[in-house]
């Protein structure tokens, strides 16, 4: 089960998006209609042991200037690597990322963390510590 | 050289090697060889009941018992006796404490040399763990004997019929002078090569300090002077000698030197400390050399018989 | 603050682990070689079987006279050490770390259990602190080194509690928790905490000495 | 409440300390802490958590409740840890205090090892402090005299060679009145058992030799006693830190046994002698195992009784209790055999608590009683807890198969008025055994 993922060899503490507090309500609705999504909560990861990770979909993407859905809803190429071209919005992440992965597959929880914290780290923007996203604020 | 030789035997394997040397010595010196055996110890005081040292039983000792023991002795040493043509043999049995009887007989016959084995215990079980130990009879005889005591522990591989190489080992102690006289006169008499050997002891530290090389070389030089002053200056008309001074653990160096020179007699003083002969414990180096040497070792404790030699 | 946090979980973490592992290896190796060339009289009689027996015995609470005669201290010691090890390896945040960094699937403690353990550990440390002040023998012999070790050992638990109860700025608290953990790692080979390295050896030596040479239990 | 308030005048300590200079002290301390000592000192100093768990172990600290300077870790703190902290830079007066602690306030009985979770050996640390004091000459006068006696006469009590042989002859004559065939064979080569004793036996407990001879004779043992130096197996030099002399003593002892080619050495009822012959002396000489096997007399009596060589027609009637000497229980695990022997000898045995390997020391061993009268007060006051334990048994006789324990217990019994008597196992066996050879 233990394999050293070659792409990320640094130790990171888990982190999540820092909510920008009450600002989000005042913004006009973004172009897409996902403003009802405010947290990342995967049913597959029950029993949940931490408050859900705060993630106001539209507000975050607008703030981070993300318009290509595939940035997060990426696909999978033939040898199982991440494929940014193929857009898979709508399919649940657990389809490809099982909770306890088979060989070569990234576990679900790890995928969430790699995706969010990885991006925050590259852009040096956004929280990296646990309570940064997992807050019940 | 040796008119009378006393060979004290236990009539057991412990004395076989000593027997060979004793008979060789007697043959070459055309000497009178006393085959001396203490066969029993009195059970109580001056009682007639005697405990046989070999069998352990107690019985009355009469003439035919003594003849039986003598006959047994002669069968053990049959071929050595056959080979004794020039020397004469006299068998002597005794009852009593071994070392007392040996010393009493030696004094009574005024023998020139005593030949003995080193100990009578079969296996040398403790030498590997701590230290090899010689027998108590030999220890007491070597201390009290008026004449040199030739101790043979292991088969003598080099001494054919002649003493050709004699090694005198010294540590320049007072006791070593008697040993020197004995070695020197024997070599002069027999025409053997005399090696004067000294081993500087560097095996243990003195007050926690091990001697440095300069210190060792200074000791070697000093030893050479002492050789000259104490021994060579006392030799008249004798040049068949060689002085050799090594450093190391004394008994190891002596044994290596003896093997190297194919020695067939090592002469050493019985002890080194300046203690009266009667109280002196046998030297630890002598003890180790006696037990490990491949040729007889003569331990000399007193000047008496040595001064009488020619 | 954010960049400081990135450094703390990044290069500083690698540095702390390196110092801990290399430092411990070096301390143990140098002590072992010192023993080999200065204590052969003791090493020659070493018997691992009796050594292990003594370690096993002393690792069971109240199984030795020492533990029985100091019950509260025994409870506090075992509570602290067990929770320290469990939390260090299987605390939920740490489990995520193992997984995030190395992809290692590590079992995680349920959060309520983790919090309970943290509280127990903190209370044990508090007891150690009180005892070090109140017990006349301990007060008489305590040195600054002991206080340093106790302080260092307590910090990670306190900061973990603060993070859990989300007291103060969460980023700052998490940062302090990370830094205190790293401080403990760095301190283990060089302060009083080095007993973590040498206790197996001293315990095994005493066990072997009492077992093999003295034929008598050492508890 | 520190050591400074309880300083005791000792002639040699005063004289030696007066001659010290801080430089000399530092030089000697360094020669031991950096020179002779090795990993054990380093790892003990570093690993001791100063947790104070050993306070419950030491009879000194139990008898001085609440005084930290009597606890094992307190003693180490006032001596070795202080020396290490100051790198030996201490005043001569402090060396006086350290010597008093090391020589008279610690029996090196190793009871604290049973309490220390980390396995710190306080006894070893105190023996290092004693080594430093020895090298500085700062040793209490009485025990130093016994050490001097060792180096001059190879025995502890200035017994001359002829006096030793005379004592044996005297005991042999006395014993032959009772056992006509009895002999104390001197230097009999090749016997099974060499019986070795400590110097106090010929000096003032000579009846023990009488009894031992009787026991050997009635059991039909092929035994001998040495005539020359090396007969004394006791070792005050081990206690004072004169390790070189300890080596000489044990070499003489072993080689005398080798020279007599005996199968086993049976030792008289002594604790520290066994420690020095069995454990510390042979290690100093580098004998990985023993040139001649060592048997303690408790083990030997057990053998005699179990093989029936000694028969006990009628057991000792009065209730007795057993005092486990540290050096043969924590030092050699003879707890069970000691109990089996005593149960074979006595009808009614009352156990002390604590006992066996958790026994409380008699406070005389480890050279403490040999420091003589000036320190008797320390010794007796330092073992009130043993007096309570003894009193709790409520019996009249306490069996202590060790010379030091006898001295120590007798002092406690008389000081705390317990009205008890100490007995050797040899006493009991001699009193109770069948004596077919007796007239």
Considering CB atoms only, which of D259, D285, D289 is closest to B136? D259
With a CB cutoff of 8 Å and minimum separation 6, the contacts of B222 are: none
Compare all CA atoms of chain D with the CA of B125 and give the residue at the minimum distance: D291
Q: Compute the distance between CA of residue B180 and CA of residue B298 in angstroms, rounded to an integer.
A: 11
User: pTM score, two decimals?
Assistant: 0.86
Considering CB atoms only, which of C5, C14, C101 is closest to A128? C5
Considering CB atoms only, which of C13, C92, C105 is closest to A100? C105
Q: Compute the distance between CA of residue D352 and CA of residue D55 in angstroms, rounded to an integer.
A: 21
Q: How many helices (H) and strands (E) does chain C have?
A: 12, 0
Compare all CA atoms of chain A with the CA of C112 and give the residue at the minimum distance: A49
Residue C44 near chain D (CB below 8 Å): yes
- Sign of the alpha-carbon dihedral angle for B28, B72, B75, B264: negative
Would you say residue A31 has pLDDT above 60? Answer: no
Decide if B187 is inside a domain. yes
B82 with B165, same domain: the answer is no
First to last CA, chain B: 7
Decide if C113 is inside a domain. yes
Considering CB atoms only, which of D189, D254, D261 is closest to B130? D254
Q: Which domain CATH number covers A105?
A: 3.90.10.10
- What's the pLDDT at D155? 93
Q: Which ranges of chain B does DSSP label H, i.e. alpha helix?
A: 16-29, 63-76, 78-83, 98-109, 136-144, 175-190, 213-226, 250-261, 284-292, 304-308
Decide if B127 is inside a domain. no
Question: Among residues D23, D7, D172, D180, which one has the least CA distance to residue D92?
Answer: D23
C211 φ, ψ (degrees, to nearest 5): -75, -55
Question: Among residues C138, C188, C179, C139, which one has the least CA distance to residue C158?
Answer: C179
Structure tokens at D227: 């005539």
Decide if B131 is inside a domain. no
With a CB cutoff of 8 Å and minimum separation 6, the contacts of A22 are: none
pLDDT tens-place string over residues C178-218: 999 999 999 999 999 999 999 999 999 999 999 999 999 98
Q: Per the structure, how many domains does chain C have?
A: 1
B278 with B185, same domain: the answer is yes
- What's the pLDDT at A13? 54
Q: Which residue would you say has higher pLDDT here, A18 or D258?
A: D258
Q: Which ranges of D113-189 does DSSP label H, i.e. alpha helix?
A: 122-136, 141-153, 161-178
Decide if A6 is inside a domain. no
D190 φψ region: left (φ > 0), alpha (ψ -120 to 50), beta (else): left
pLDDT tens per residue across all 310 residues of chain B = 788 999 999 888 888 888 888 888 888 888 899 999 998 888 877 677 888 888 888 888 888 888 988 999 999 999 888 888 888 899 999 888 889 999 999 999 999 999 998 887 766 554 445 567 788 888 899 989 989 999 988 887 666 556 788 999 998 888 888 899 999 988 888 888 999 999 998 877 666 677 889 989 999 999 999 999 999 998 888 889 999 999 999 999 999 999 999 888 999 998 887 778 788 888 888 988 988 888 889 999 888 888 877 6
Radius of gyration of chain C (CA): 20
Angstrom CA distances, B208 to B203, B217, C37, D31, stand at 12, 19, 18, 12
Please identify, among B92, B117, B142, the residue that sits at the C-terminal boundary of a domain: B117
- Residues in chain B with CB shorter than 8 Å from the CB of D261 are 121, 133
Q: Compute the distance between CA of residue C158 and CA of residue C162 in angstroms, rounded to an integer.
A: 6
pLDDT tens-place string over residues B46-65: 677 888 888 888 888 888 88
Q: Compute the distance between CA of residue D233 and CA of residue C28 in angstroms, rounded to an integer.
A: 39
Structure tokens at D160: 């001359």
Decide if B125 is inside a domain. no
Q: Which ranges of D291-369 does DSSP label H, i.e. alpha helix?
A: 297-306, 326-329, 335-345
pLDDT tens-place string over residues D298-333: 999 999 999 999 999 999 999 999 999 999 999 999
Q: Which residues does C contribute to its contact with A (CB < 8 Å)?
A: 2-3, 5-6, 9-10, 13-14, 92-93, 96-97, 99-105, 108, 110-111, 163, 166, 170-171, 173-175, 178
**What single DSSP character describes residue A129?**
S
Q: Per the structure, how many domains does chain A have?
A: 1
Decide if B19 is inside a domain. yes
Q: Per the structure, how many domains does chain B have?
A: 2
pLDDT tens-place string over residues A70-80: 888 888 887 77
Q: Which chains touch C (3 or more CB pairs under 8 A)?
A: A, D
- Residues in chain D with CB shorter than 8 Å from the CB of C44 are 288
Q: Compute the distance between CA of residue C181 and CA of residue C177 in angstroms, rounded to an integer.
A: 6
- What's the pLDDT at A25? 46
* pLDDT-wise least confident of A106-110, B277-281, C43-47: B277-281
B106 with B176, same domain: the answer is no
Decide if A39 is inside a domain. yes
> Chain C, 51-70: which have a CB under 8 Å from a chain D CB?
54, 58, 64-67, 69-70
- Whether D173 and D431 have beta carbons less than 8 Å apart is answered as no
- Going along chain D from its start, the domains and CATH numbers come out as 3-139 (1.10.1060), 154-304 (3.40.50), 311-432 (3.40.50)
- Whether B255 and B158 have beta carbons less than 8 Å apart is answered as no
Decide if B135 is inside a domain. no
- Residues in chain A with CB shorter than 8 Å from the CB of C162 are none
Angle, helices C195-208 vs C48-59, to 10°: value is 120
Count how many Cα atoms sit within 13 Å of the Cα of residue C28 in the half-sphere of its side chain. 14
Please identify, among B68, B94, B117, the residue that sits at the C-terminal boundary of a domain: B117
Across the interface, do C96 and A135 touch by the CB < 8 Å criterion? Answer: no
pLDDT tens-place string over residues A1-11: 445 555 565 55
Decide if B178 is inside a domain. yes
DSSP-based three-state secondary structure for D108: coil
Q: Compute the distance between CA of residue D208 and CA of residue D186 in angstroms, rounded to an integer.
A: 17
- What's the pLDDT at A28? 46
Decide if A56 is inside a domain. yes
Would you say residue A19 has pLDDT above 50? Answer: no
Decide if A14 is inside a domain. no
Compare all CA atoms of chain C with the CA of A106 and give the residue at the minimum distance: C103
Mark the ranges of chain D whose per-residue pLDDT is less than 50. Answer: none
Q: Which domain CATH number covers C104?
A: 1.20.950.20
B183 with B304, same domain: the answer is yes
Domain span holding position A128? 23-133
SS3 content of chain A, % helix, strand, coil (to 5): 30, 10, 60
Decide if C173 is inside a domain. yes
Angstrom CA distances, A131 to A17, A109, B302, C9, stand at 9, 16, 100, 15
Decide if A107 is inside a domain. yes
Look at the block and give the residue holding tokens 């095994």: C204
- What's the pLDDT at A4? 53
Domain span holding position B226? 158-310
Decide if B140 is inside a domain. no
Is there contact between A and C if contact means ≥3 C-beta pairs under 8 Å?
A: yes
Nearest-CA distance A33 → chain C (Å): 32
Decide if C211 is inside a domain. no
C72 φ, ψ (degrees, to nearest 5): -65, -45
Q: Compute the distance between CA of residue C169 and CA of residue C150 in angstroms, rounded to an integer.
A: 26
Residue D261 near chain B (CB below 8 Å): yes
State the count of interchain CB pairs (< 8 A) between A and C: 88
- Whether C95 and C107 have beta carbons less than 8 Å apart is answered as yes
Nearest-CA distance C24 → chain D (Å): 14
B41 with B175, same domain: the answer is no
Asked if the interface predicted TM-score (ipTM) of this complex is over 0.90, the answer is no
- What's the pLDDT at C125? 95
Domain span holding position C104? 2-36+65-197
Q: Compute the distance between CA of residue A62 and CA of residue A24 in angstroms, rounded to an integer.
A: 11
Confidence of residue A22 (pLDDT cuts 50, 70, 90): very low
DSSP-based three-state secondary structure for B72: helix
B163 with B302, same domain: the answer is yes
Structure tokens at C116: 């309970």
């Amino acid at each position: 089960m233990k394999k050293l993922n070659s792409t990320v060899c640094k130790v990171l503490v888990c982190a999540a998006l820092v909510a920008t507090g009450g600002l989000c309500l005042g913004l006009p609705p973004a172009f897409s209609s996902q403003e009802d999504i405010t947290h990342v909560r995967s049913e597959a990861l029950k029993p949940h042991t931490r408050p859900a990770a705060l993630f106001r979909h539209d507000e975050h993407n607008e703030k981070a200037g993300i318009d290509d859905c595939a940035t997060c809803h990426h696909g999978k190429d033939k040898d199982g690597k991440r494929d940014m071209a193929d857009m898979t919005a709508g399919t649940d992440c657990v389809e490809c990322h099982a909770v306890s992965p088979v060989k070569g597959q990234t576990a679900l929880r790890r995928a969430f963390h790699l995706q969010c914290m990885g991006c925050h780290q590259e852009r040096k923007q956004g929280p990296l510590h646990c309570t940064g996203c997992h807050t019940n604020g | 050289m040796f008119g009378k030789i006393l060979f004290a035997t236990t009539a057991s394997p412990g004395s076989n090697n000593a027997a060979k040397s004793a008979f060789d010595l007697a043959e070459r010196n055309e000497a009178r060889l006393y085959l001396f055996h203490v066969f029993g110890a009195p059970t109580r005081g001056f009682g007639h009941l005697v405990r046989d040292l070999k069998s352990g039983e107690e019985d009355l000792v009469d003439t035919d018992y003594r003849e039986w023991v003598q006959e047994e002795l002669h069968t053990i040493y049959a071929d050595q006796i056959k080979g004794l043509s020039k020397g004469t043999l006299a068998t002597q049995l005794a009852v009593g404490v071994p070392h007392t009887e040996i010393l009493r007989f030696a004094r009574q016959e005024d023998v020139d040399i005593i030949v003995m084995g080193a100990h009578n215990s079969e296996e040398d079980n403790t030498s590997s763990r701590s230290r090899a130990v010689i027998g108590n009879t030999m220890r007491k005889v070597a201390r009290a004997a008026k004449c040199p005591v030739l101790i043979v522990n292991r088969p003598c591989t080099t001494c054919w019929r002649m003493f050709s190489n004699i090694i005198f080992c010294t540590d320049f102690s007072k006791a070593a002078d008697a040993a020197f006289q004995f070695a020197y006169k024997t070599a002069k008499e027999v025409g053997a090569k005399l090696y004067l050997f000294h081993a500087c002891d560097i095996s243990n530290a003195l007050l926690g300090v091990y001697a440095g090389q300069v210190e060792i070389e200074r000791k070697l030089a000093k030893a050479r002077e002492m050789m000259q002053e104490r021994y060579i200056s006392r030799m008249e008309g004798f040049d068949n000698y060689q002085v050799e001074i090594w450093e190391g653990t004394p008994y190891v160096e002596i044994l290596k030197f003896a093997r190297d020179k194919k020695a067939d007699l090592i002469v050493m003083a019985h002890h080194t400390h300046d203690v009266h002969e009667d109280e002196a414990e046998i030297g630890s180096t002598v003890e180790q050399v006696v037990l490990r040497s491949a040729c007889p070792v003569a331990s000399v404790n007193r000047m008496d018989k040595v001064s009488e030699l020619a | 603050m954010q960049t400081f946090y990135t450094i703390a979980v990044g290069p500083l973490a690698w540095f702390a682990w390196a110092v801990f592992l290399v430092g411990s290896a070096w301390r143990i190796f140098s002590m072992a070689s010192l023993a080999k060339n200065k204590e052969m009289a003791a090493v020659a009689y070493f018997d691992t079987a009796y050594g292990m027996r003594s370690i096993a015995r002393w690792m069971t609470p109240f199984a030795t006279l020492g533990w029985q005669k100091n019950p509260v201290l025994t409870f506090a010691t075992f509570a602290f050490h067990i929770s320290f090890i469990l939390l260090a390896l299987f605390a939920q945040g740490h489990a995520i770390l193992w997984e995030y960094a190395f992809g290692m699937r590590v079992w995680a403690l349920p959060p309520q259990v983790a919090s309970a353990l943290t509280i127990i550990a903190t209370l044990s440390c508090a007891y150690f602190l009180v005892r070090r002040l109140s017990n006349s023998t301990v007060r008489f012999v305590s040195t600054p080194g002991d206080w340093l070790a106790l302080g260092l050992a307590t910090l990670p638990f306190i900061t973990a509690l603060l993070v859990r109860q989300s007291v103060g700025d969460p980023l700052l608290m998490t940062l302090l928790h990370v830094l205190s953990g790293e401080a403990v790692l760095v301190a283990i080979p060089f302060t009083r905490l080095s007993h973590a390295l040498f206790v197996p050896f001293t315990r095994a030596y005493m066990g072997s000495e009492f077992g093999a040479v003295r034929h008598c239990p050492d508890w | 409440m520190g050591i400074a308030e309880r300083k005791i005048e000792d002639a040699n300590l005063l004289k030696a300390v007066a001659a010290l200079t801080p430089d000399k002290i530092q030089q000697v301390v360094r020669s031991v802490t950096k020179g002779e000592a090795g990993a054990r000192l380093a790892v003990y100093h570093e690993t001791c958590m100063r947790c104070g768990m050993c306070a419950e172990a030491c009879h000194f600290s139990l008898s001085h409740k609440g005084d930290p300077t009597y606890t094992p870790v307190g003693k180490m703190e006032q001596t070795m840890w202080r020396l290490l902290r100051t790198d030996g830079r201490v005043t001569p007066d402090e060396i006086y205090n350290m010597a008093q602690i090391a020589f008279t306030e610690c029996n090196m009985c190793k009871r604290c090892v049973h309490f220390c979770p980390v396995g710190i050996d306080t006894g070893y640390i105190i023996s290092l402090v004693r080594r430093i004091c020895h090298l500085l000459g700062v040793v209490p006068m009485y025990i130093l005299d016994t050490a001097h006696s060792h180096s001059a006469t190879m025995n502890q009590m200035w017994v001359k060679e002829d006096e030793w042989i005379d004592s044996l002859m005297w005991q042999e004559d006395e014993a032959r009145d009772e056992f006509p065939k009895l002999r104390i064979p001197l230097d009999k080569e090749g016997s099974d058992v060499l019986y070795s004793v400590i110097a106090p036996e010929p000096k003032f407990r000579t009846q023990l030799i009488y009894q031992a001879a009787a026991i050997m004779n009635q059991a039909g043992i092929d035994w001998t006693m040495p005539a020359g130096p090396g007969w004394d197996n006791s070792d005050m030099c081990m206690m004072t830190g004169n390790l070189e002399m300890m080596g000489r003593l044990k070499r003489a002892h072993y080689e005398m046994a080798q020279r007599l080619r005996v199968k086993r050495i049976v030792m008289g009822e002594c604790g520290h002698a066994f420690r020095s012959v069995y454990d510390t002396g042979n290690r100093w000489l580098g004998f990985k195992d023993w040139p001649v096997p060592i048997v303690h007399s408790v083990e030997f009596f057990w053998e005699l009784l179990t093989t029936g060589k000694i028969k006990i027609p009628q057991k000792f009637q009065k209730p007795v209790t057993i005092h486990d000497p540290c050096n043969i229980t924590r030092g050699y695990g003879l707890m069970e055999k000691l109990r089996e022997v005593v149960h074979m000898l006595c009808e009614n045995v009352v156990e002390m608590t604590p006992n066996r390997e958790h026994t409380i020391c008699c406070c005389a061993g480890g050279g403490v009683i040999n420091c003589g009268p000036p320190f008797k007060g320390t010794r007796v006051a330092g073992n009130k807890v043993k007096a309570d334990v003894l009193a709790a048994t409520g019996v009249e006789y306490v069996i202590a198969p060790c010379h030091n324990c006898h001295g120590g217990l007798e002092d406690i019994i008389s000081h705390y008025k317990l009205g008890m008597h100490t007995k050797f196992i040899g006493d009991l066996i001699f009193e109770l055994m069948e004596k077919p050879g007796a007239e």
